[in-house]
Chains A and B, each alone.
Chain A
Amino acid sequence: MEEAILQAKNVSYAYEEGEGLAISDINLSFRRGEMTAILGHNGSGKSTLAKLLNGLYIPTAGTVTVCGMDTALDDNTWEIRKKAGMVFQNPDNQLVASIVRDDVAFGLENIGVPTEEMPARIEAALRAVGMLDFIDRAPHMLSGGQKQRIAIAGILAMQPQALILDEATAMLDPKGREEVFSIVEKLNREQGITVVWITHFMEEAARCGRVVVMDGGHIVMDGEPQEVFTRAEDMRRMRLDVPPMVALGDLLRSRGMKISRDAMDIDSMAREVLKWL
């Protein structure tokens, strides 16, 4: 079995003692190089899980490990933050400096990277997200998608094993969303970075290798997108949906057309329809 980069064993979490569990006895592991979408309606526990996965929250019960390190041990905190970085929803809440270069340097300073090593790491990180040309620009002059890419570069500079993105595209326009998603896809494919992609957009989930669905603090589905999106009724009952092309495929099949369930995006649907015609 491949190495688990992020692992949750019998993990439960309650925000306050005596209150209900936001996360209830979860077992889940993310292997090196996986790109996993996490779906669930607002309040299903997705964001809580994300914050448990890089040690921002410590489990009430059970253990979370990042590259084998227990997040509950204080001594591991810095090492864990280097290995698993997190990007949040609002692009305006996570940039700290007045120049892009300094923003990417911020994390490096915190983990004590020697000054002479910094320029190379900053440039490599900005190149990886396609933002090297913006190195001397002011973050507040950038678009939402560009700001999220800078936030990602700030994490990449620390050479992490895993990226956890909590609805990182929710506040972006369609162009910005595609820009951020495809950069993360590329980092996963080319650098083997393990990605946990939390989203409300079903078409993004269809592009991940694995989809985990949460409801009421539990994992209720875990599989390839084809398997998960076959259960359209279950998804809708959980306040979720299926990608538009999956819904179209269901309709076409119900009218007797031979269309593969693997057709979950426009390109593959067009190929299937052309084949059937």
Chain B
Amino acid sequence: MAITIEHLYHVYQQGSPFQSDALEDIDFTIENGDLLALIGHTGSGKSTLAQHLNGLLKPTSGRVLVDGQNINAKEADRKALRQRVGLLFQYAEYQLFEETVYKDIAFGPKNQGLTGKELDHRVRRAFARVHLPQEVLEKSPFELSGGQMRRVALAGVVAMEPEVLVLDEPIAGLDPKGRDELMEVISDLHRGGVTIVLISHNMDDVARIATRVAVLDKGRLAMLGTPREIFSRGDELEAMGLDVPQTVQLCRKLRAGGVDMPDCLTNEEVCAAILAARGRTAHA
């Protein structure tokens, strides 16, 4: 399912002395099957944009189209359209509240009107997709580690079976293993056909798993392209207060030192490029 954002503007506190433009003329399409990374400095408008994708915020002007239908139009079945886009907030584990993990995951689908076997299947299917041990299902969410709680919250969104998942800094605050486990869950969901919008500050992750990257700067869409295209524009990213992946930083340093190097996105690529450079010097 594709989401098209058409000339979207969002103004906070319009008409008050505090009026400020949060988003200005955002215009691009999130394609079906994308794993789109949304990056930008704090305050660049990433979370504001994310909240437009499932109708939590309404554009001041412009439109958000889900498969060609305006999610804010009066006539459209807004509820159904919005259910096709799931949103995981930052630190989503703070929103868990039920007695058991099972009940917490069931909360959304139950509100959708599911009951009995259908509801049970839905909960178990969502639970299976976040890679948690089976015994967790009957535990209280509050007995779990932070990383496990985060995945339970994600299962709650997955249980609505959205076609697009918007994840707002899903790995913030997790330990390294917890980060890897969650990134693996996200990759799996993507492979399973879910379109993903990932807000992240971790450029190494973005370089590794994103199919495309959208860069926001002061409420505007500054760049859109593949990770390779985006991270080859390191100077511009740094001017926006953004990092580039560590491998790219290293390649830039090596180029400054006179070595002919492309911008590498993985350790394997760095290794191959260094060996190639060595080969050239040996022959010269």
A residues lining the B interface (CB < 8 Å): 41-43, 89, 143-144, 167, 170-171, 173-176, 200, 202-203, 236, 239-241, 244-245, 247-248, 251-252, 255, 257, 266-267, 269-270, 273-274, 276-277
Which secondary structure dominates chain A's binding surface?
Answer: helix
How many angstroms from the CA of A173 to the CA of B201 in the assembled complex? 6
How many angstroms from the CA of A277 to the CA of B41 in the assembled complex? 36
Shortest CB–CB separation between residue A178 and chain B, in angstroms?
9
* Contact across chains for A143 and B42 when beta carbons are under 8 A apart: yes
* Contact across chains for A175 and B241 when beta carbons are under 8 A apart: yes
How many angstroms from the CA of A274 to the CA of B268 in the assembled complex? 18
Shortest CB–CB separation between residue B129 and chain A, in angstroms?
22
How many angstroms from the CA of A215 to the CA of B268 in the assembled complex? 31
Contact-size category for B: 35 or more
Q: B271 contacts which chain A residues (CB < 8 A)?
A: 248, 251-252, 255
Contact A273-B254, Cβ < 8 Å, known A170-B173, A240-B176 = yes
Shortest CB–CB separation between residue A173 and chain B, in angstroms?
5
The 5 closest A-B pairs by CB, nearest first: A239-B177, A270-B253, A241-B176, A41-B175, A244-B246
Which secondary structure dominates chain B's binding surface?
Answer: helix
Most buried by A among B175, B250, B253: B175
Shortest CB–CB separation between residue A48 and chain B, in angstroms?
15
* Contact across chains for B176 and A239 when beta carbons are under 8 A apart: yes
Q: A276 contacts which chain B residues (CB < 8 A)?
A: 274, 278
B204 is an interface residue with CB less than 8 A from chain A: yes
Q: B259 contacts which chain A residues (CB < 8 A)?
A: 273-274, 277
Shortest CB–CB separation between residue B180 and chain A, in angstroms?
8
Q: B242 contacts which chain A residues (CB < 8 A)?
A: 174
* Contact across chains for B178 and A41 when beta carbons are under 8 A apart: yes
Q: B270 contacts which chain A residues (CB < 8 A)?
A: 248, 252
Residue of A nearest to B277 (CB): A277
* Contact across chains for A266 and B249 when beta carbons are under 8 A apart: yes
New A-B pairs, 5, CB < 8 Å, besides A200-B174, A239-B178: A41-B175, A41-B177, A200-B173, A255-B275, A273-B274
> Which of A167, A266, A273, A277 makes the CB contact (< 8 A) with B246?
A266
B114 is an interface residue with CB less than 8 A from chain A: no
Contact A42-B147, Cβ < 8 Å, known A173-B42, A273-B274 = yes
Give the contacts of B133-153 with A (CB-CB under 8 A).
145-147
* Contact across chains for A270 and B254 when beta carbons are under 8 A apart: yes
How many angstroms from the CA of A252 to the CA of B274 in the assembled complex? 9
Query: 5 interchain pairs (CB within 8 A)?
Result: A173-B41, A174-B243, A239-B175, A244-B204, A266-B253
Q: B268 contacts which chain A residues (CB < 8 A)?
A: 251
0/1 per residue, B268-284, Cβ < 8 Å to A? 10110011011001000
* Contact across chains for B253 and A171 when beta carbons are under 8 A apart: no
How many angstroms from the CA of A144 to the CA of B203 in the assembled complex? 19
